[in-house]
Amino acid sequence: MCSSCTLSCVPGYEIHGMEKIPDKGPALIVYYHGAIPIDYYYFLAKVILQKGRPCHSVADHLLFKIPGFKLLLEVFSVIHGPQEECVRALRNGHLLGISPGGVREALFSDETYPLLWGKRRGFAQVAIDSQVPIIPMFTQNVREGFRSLGTLRFFRWLYERFRLPAAPVYGGFPVKFRTFLGDPIPYEPNVNAAELAQKVQQAVQALIDQHQQIPGNILRALLERFHSKHKEH
């Protein structure tokens, strides 16, 4: 039987720190965005199975423009991210997952795992307005499962010029994924959005530094399916 902190029922996937997700009440989960966030999909399934509750998610507005996709996203409690809508979900007692790096991080981060958040602070303001804790999250080897060609100059130019996320993604490699949840960052009334955003970014970076070997390596991540050794700080 799976323990509360290491769930390995899905071959190749583990989650550490599930006890940090509240059984009830709101929290904002902030995570690093892989080229394909398959780790986040696994996480959402684990929350439903282990906690018996759904986790709402914020997705890029481009997904809502895909024909027939909007209804599917609504069924899975996905919202396109206006701050008021995020605050409403949290004030209604829901969990909410968001990646500040979004599409930019998905396409242009690489096997060295840089966080591409820029000066985004909206997620921090949402947490402040909702008075909820923030739980940082990172998945080891998520860049080895799928990789993006966004580092090629042409695809970067397309995105910056036309906001067209056309960079090809390749992979589907059956690597070992380990999701790590950090300690919740509590609401503090005297902390502003800029300070909170910096604190959260440092917390996610700390998870990367502690659990991810840099640069990531696809072969190593594949071999980790067959033994339990992983980076420790």
230 is catalytic: no
Instruction: Fill in the DSSP letter of residue 138.
Output: E
Instruction: Fill in the DSSP letter of residue 14.
Output: E
Q: How many other CB atoms are there within 10 angstroms of residue 47's CB atom? A: 19
SS3 230: coil
How far is the C-alpha of 156 from the C-alpha of 151, rounded, in Å? 7
Q: Which residue is catalytic, options 33, 56, 94, 211?
A: 33
Angle at 77 between CA 99 and CA 62, to 5 degrees: 55
Query: Measuring CA to CA, which residue among 227, 20, 45 is closest to residue 133?
Result: 20
How is residue 53 written in tokens? Answer: 């509750």
How is residue 146 written in tokens? Answer: 């799928």
Active site (catalytic) residues: 33
